């Protein structure tokens, strides 16, 4: 377990470093992340590198026994670099170049910027290759998070990417359906980018491919930057911080191929959620790192027109919440937790962002809480090391589906993330761990696979799902599954024929409801539930069981939810967007069918997660509520709470915002 903090030595007088390092020790930290935004100090003038200040900080950190995660800046460039080539700036959707003066305004297709960034990485790797204090290397910060760029360099690269993919203009015309509104091209130079136009939409296939292309630019840059570090510093461990599911700029399945470890930020509840931890863990099916754990209230100013606004409305953590969220990260598989940040900064764009220390560098409530957590982690570390979260359930998360839905939504309020969270949340309330994996991945280890809104499918995905279910898996699909092919065009059957056969249905018709409109479904046994947003009328074929039918309107009596046995497996289809109660009951039923047990009988509003290894399970019980919760232990079991060191039998009483880590006694 690595436990530590993000520190910005360039923000503070050198004399203060030593005091801060002492305070970090008091918190039981062992790891510090530095330098991801420090380019202007690392290369103050072109080719004049100055690592001396960083060397001194690393020496001081090493002397106190710390390990360092070294940030390698790339997109937050110094002013001299921006001034020497104005085309380093992103060309926005509206056509203007983004101005220098904040972060993430640079285009990775600008060759000057790329060269300079890669040269910096090379110099840093050469300089620090023998350093023993460096634990790992952190590529830039939140790679890919920027407005999409539409500059001439991007257009040129995009054309190259399209040529590679489609080979001929006629193949591209066909794939994108450019005959619609007379958009066919006869020469690659006629390619346009999906920038601001009038109020009509751009071609959906172009929009989807442009998303893929911009993701590819980030993936390729990470690969190159990581390659240079590895070449100069053999054995370097490389990571970077991936963002929450509120962001979808980059295909993290592909980006993570360049990384040894995946890392994330974790700022719950506003912009991060437990799904983000589950998704991170699933990327490499193993431990991940949280390199920015929320310690205090974040602050972010964003522009709305000409006014500066505070974004998100982040909340200050109540006493106990920072500790609880730290255990949340660990319980989901994190083997490193670094808090953001040690001390609030007195200047710059995040002045109102809290930290572990107070503005004056003194200690207070947050410091005390993290110190308590640090002491606990010291105590439990040996139990946790070597354990990991295992899951029998997979949720399929598809970038193509997300991108296609975000750029060209099928219906009002059919939001990919919202529907995805609907399913993830209900598994969580049932205390069942979920992996979040690509629809193209090997599913054979999972007993239950749920694919919410898997809107875009290619033949490989269809085949993957069919063979999974036929081999005995339990598969749940929802409305709008496989509606689009990989070009973003609608398939004539609405549901891919092989899935239609697997599920034993065809789709008669699909249509949106008005935003506030609800419809009803009735289960066989008479239980009624609400559905909203989208209706698909299912036509069951021979052998298919109708589990629920629509209740009202002109489509009353038509099938809404079905299931079909296929060998040992089961293929279920939900033709609408049901209320959470229905999803929960349905998942319960499928868990039972798939023979998946829940680890603990606990109220739905507590978090239960299990880490296995070293011959035992550690059950993490977290109570995020403002009142006490009781958790029943399986009859006859005696467990020990690793934090309190006490035996528990019968019922565990968890105080508000408290945590227990149980192992069999
Ligand atoms: C993160 C970012 C940090 C800092 C933080 C503030 O998204 O990586 O640099 O801005 O947010 O909450």
Residues 371 and 459 in one domain: no
Long-range contact pairs involving 628-634 (C-beta distance under 8 Å, separation at least 24): 628/653, 628/654, 628/655, 628/656, 629/602, 629/603, 629/605, 629/653, 629/654, 630/603, 630/654, 631/600, 631/601, 631/602, 631/603, 631/606, 632/600, 632/601, 632/602, 633/600, 633/662, 634/600, 634/601
Which of 300, 301, 352 gets mutated to test ligand 1 (max ligand atoms within 8 A of its CB)? 300
Active site (annotated) includes residue 94:
no
**Number of neighbours of residue 517 by Cβ within 10 angstroms:** 13
- Atom nearest to 145 CA in ligand 1: 7
Residues 453 and 371 in one domain: no
User: What b/e sequence results for 16-32 when a residue is b if at least 16 CB atoms lie within 10 Å of its CB, and e otherwise?
Assistant: ebeebbebbeebbbbbb
Phi/psi of residue 522, nearest 5 degrees: -120, 130
Alpha carbon nearest to ligand 1 atom 6, residue? 298
Q: With respect to residue 180, please indicate whether it lies within any of the assigned structural domains.
A: no
Active site (annotated) includes residue 292:
yes
Q: Is 2 helix (H, G, I), strand (E, B) or coil?
A: strand
Which of 71, 290, 298 gets mutated to test ligand 1 (max ligand atoms within 8 A of its CB)? 298
Strand partners, 637: none
Q: With respect to residue 600, please indicate whether it lies within any of the assigned structural domains.
A: no
Last residue of a domain, one of 331, 366, 384: 384
Q: With respect to residue 94, please indicate whether it lies within any of the assigned structural domains.
A: yes
Q: What is the DSSP letter of 305?
A: T
Residues 329 and 370 in one domain: yes
Q: Please tell me the distance between residue 81's alpha carbon and the centre of ligand 1 in angstroms.
A: 23
**Residue 93 domain boundaries:** 2-150+193-384
Contact 389, 280 (CB under 8 A): no
Cα–Cα nearest to 142, from 9, 300, 324, 308:
300
CATH number of the domain at 648, please: 2.60.40.1180
Residues 237 and 342 in one domain: yes
- Atom nearest to 314 CA in ligand 1: 12
Weakly modelled stretches of the chain, pLDDT under 70: 310-314
Residues 631 and 576 in one domain: no
CB within 8 Å of 181: residues ≥ 6 apart: none
269: preceding bond cis by omega (within 30 degrees): yes
341: preceding bond cis by omega (within 30 degrees): yes
Q: With respect to residue 155, please indicate whether it lies within any of the assigned structural domains.
A: no
* Rounded CA separation 448/469 (Å): 9
Residues 461 and 368 in one domain: no
| HEC assignment per residue over 478-534 | ECCCCCECCCCCECCCCCCHHHHHHHCEEEEEEEECCCCCEEEEEECCCCEEEEEEE
Residues with CB under 6 A from ligand 1: 141-142, 265, 267, 292, 298, 340, 350, 353
CATH number of the domain at 465, please: 3.40.50.880
Residues 285 and 137 in one domain: yes
| HEC assignment per residue over 343-395 | CCCCCCCCCCCCCCCCCCCCCCHHHHHHHHHHHHHHHHHHHHCCCECCCCEEE
Last residue of a domain, one of 571, 593, 615: 593
> Structure tokens of 448?
């239950």
Contact 396, 450 (CB under 8 A): yes
* Rounded CA separation 7/12 (Å): 10
Q: Is 588 helix (H, G, I), strand (E, B) or coil?
A: helix
Number of domains in the chain: 3
Q: Please tell me the distance between residue 147's alpha carbon and the centre of ligand 1 in angstroms.
A: 16
Q: With respect to residue 284, please indicate whether it lies within any of the assigned structural domains.
A: yes
Q: Please tell me the distance between residue 471's alpha carbon and the centre of ligand 1 in angstroms.
A: 44
Last residue of a domain, one of 343, 365, 384: 384
The pLDDT assigned to 302 comes to 73
Residues 489 and 460 in one domain: yes
Which of 267, 269, 340, 348 gets mutated to test ligand 1 (max ligand atoms within 8 A of its CB)? 340
- Among 36, 87, 219, 292, the one annotated catalytic: 292
Residues 271 and 374 in one domain: yes
Q: Please tell me the distance between residue 551's alpha carbon and the centre of ligand 1 in angstroms.
A: 48
Q: Helices (H), strands (E): how many in the chain? A: 17, 29
What's this model's pTM, rounded to 2 decimal places? 0.97
The pLDDT assigned to 314 comes to 65
Residues 554 and 582 in one domain: yes
Alpha carbon nearest to ligand 1 atom 1, residue? 265
Q: With respect to residue 599, please indicate whether it lies within any of the assigned structural domains.
A: no
Q: Please tell me the distance between residue 300's alpha carbon and the centre of ligand 1 in angstroms.
A: 8
CATH number of the domain at 53, please: 3.20.20.80
The pLDDT assigned to 598 comes to 84
User: CA torsion sign, 125 to 81 to 304 to 217?
Assistant: negative
Q: With respect to residue 409, please indicate whether it lies within any of the assigned structural domains.
A: yes
Q: Please tell me the distance between residue 279's alpha carbon and the centre of ligand 1 in angstroms.
A: 19
Q: Please tell me the distance between residue 350's alpha carbon and the centre of ligand 1 in angstroms.
A: 9
Residues 585 and 612 in one domain: no
Which of 11, 292, 301, 322 gets mutated to test ligand 1 (max ligand atoms within 8 A of its CB)? 292
CA atoms within 13 A on the CB side of 29: 31
Residues 570 and 622 in one domain: no
* Rounded CA separation 342/31 (Å): 12
- Among 36, 43, 87, 142, the one annotated catalytic: 142
* Rounded CA separation 219/251 (Å): 8
Q: With respect to residue 182, please indicate whether it lies within any of the assigned structural domains.
A: no
């Amino acid at each position: 377990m690595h436990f530590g903090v993000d520190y910005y030595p360039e923000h503070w007088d050198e004399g203060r470093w030593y005091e801060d390092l002492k305070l970090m020790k008091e918190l039981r930290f062992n790891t510090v992340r530095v330098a991801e935004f420090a380019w202007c100090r690392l290369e103050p003038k072109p080719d004049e590198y100055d690592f001396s200040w960083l060397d001194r900080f690393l020496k001081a950190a090493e002397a106190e026994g710390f390990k360092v995660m070294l940030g390698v800046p790339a997109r937050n460039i110094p002013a001299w670099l921006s001034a020497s080539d104005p085309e380093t700036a992103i060309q926005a959707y509206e056509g203007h170049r983004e101005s220098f003066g904040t972060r993430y305004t640079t285009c990775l297709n600008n060759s000057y910027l790329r060269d300079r960034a890669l040269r910096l990485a090379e110099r840093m790797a050469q300089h620090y290759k023998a350093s023993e204090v460096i634990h790992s290397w952190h590529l830039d910060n939140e790679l890919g998070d920027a407005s999409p760029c539409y500059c001439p360099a991007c257009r040129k690269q995009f054309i190259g990417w399209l040529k590679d993919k489609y080979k001929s203009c006629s193949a591209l015309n066909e794939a994108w359906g450019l005959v619609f509104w007379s958009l066919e091209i006869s020469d690659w130079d006629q390619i346009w980018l999906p920038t601001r136009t009038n109020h009509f939409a751009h071609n959906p296939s172009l929009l989807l491919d442009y998303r893929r292309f911009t993701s590819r630019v980030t993936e390729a840059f990470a690969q190159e930057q990581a390659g240079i570090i590895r070449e100069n510093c053999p054995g370097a461990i490389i990571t970077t911080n991936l963002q929450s599911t509120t962001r979808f700029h980059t295909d993290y399945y592909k980006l993570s191929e360049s990384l040894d470890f995946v890392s994330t930020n974790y700022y719950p509840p506003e912009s991060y959620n437990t799904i983000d931890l589950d998704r991170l863990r699933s990327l490499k099916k193993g431990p991940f790192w949280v390199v920015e754990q929320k310690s205090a209230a974040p602050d972010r100013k964003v522009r709305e027109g000409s006014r500066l606004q505070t974004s998100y409305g982040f909340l200050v953590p109540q006493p106990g919440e920072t500790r609880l969220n730290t255990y949340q990260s660990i319980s989901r598989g994190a083997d490193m937790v670094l808090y953001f940040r040690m001390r609030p900064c007195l200047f710059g764009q995040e002045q109102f962002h809290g930290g572990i220390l107070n503005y004056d560098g003194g200690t207070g409530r947050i410091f005390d809480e993290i110190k308590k957590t640090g002491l606990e982690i010291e105590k439990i570390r040996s139990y946790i090391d070597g354990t990991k979260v295992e899951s029998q359930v997979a949720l399929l998360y598809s970038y193509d589906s997300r991108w296609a839905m975000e750029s060209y939504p099928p219906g009002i309020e059919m939001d990919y993330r919202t529907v995805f969270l609907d399913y993830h949340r209900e598994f969580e309330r049932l205390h069942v761990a979920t992996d979040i994996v690509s629809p193209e991945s090997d599913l054979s280890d999972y007993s239950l696979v749920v694919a919410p809104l898997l809107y875009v499918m290619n033949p490989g995905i269809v085949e993957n799902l069919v063979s999974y279910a036929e081999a005995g898996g339990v598969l749940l699909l929802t409305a709008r599954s496989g509606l689009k092919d990989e070009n973003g065009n609608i398939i004539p059957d609405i549901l891919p024929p092989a899935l239609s056969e697997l599920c034993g249905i065809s789709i008669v018709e699909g249509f949106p409801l008005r935003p506030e409109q609800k419809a009803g479904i009735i289960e066989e046994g008479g239980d009624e539930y609400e559905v909203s947003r989208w209706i698909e009328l299912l036509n069951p074929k021979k052998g298919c069981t109708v589990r629920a039918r629509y209740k009202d309107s002109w489509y009353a009596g038509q099938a809404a939810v079905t299931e079909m046995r296929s060998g040992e497996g089961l293929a279920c289809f939900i033709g609408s967007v049901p209320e959470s109660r229905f999803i929960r009951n349905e998942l319960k039923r499928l868990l039972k069918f798939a023979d998946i047990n829940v680890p603990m009988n606990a109220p739905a509003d507590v978090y239960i997660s299990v880490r296995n290894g070293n011959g035992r399970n550690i059950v993490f019980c977290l109570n995020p509520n403002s009142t006490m919760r009781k958790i029943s232990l399986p009859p006859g079991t005696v467990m020990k709470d690793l934090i309190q060191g006490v035996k528990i039998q019968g019922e565990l009483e968890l105080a508000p915002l408290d945590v227990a880590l149980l192992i069999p006694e």
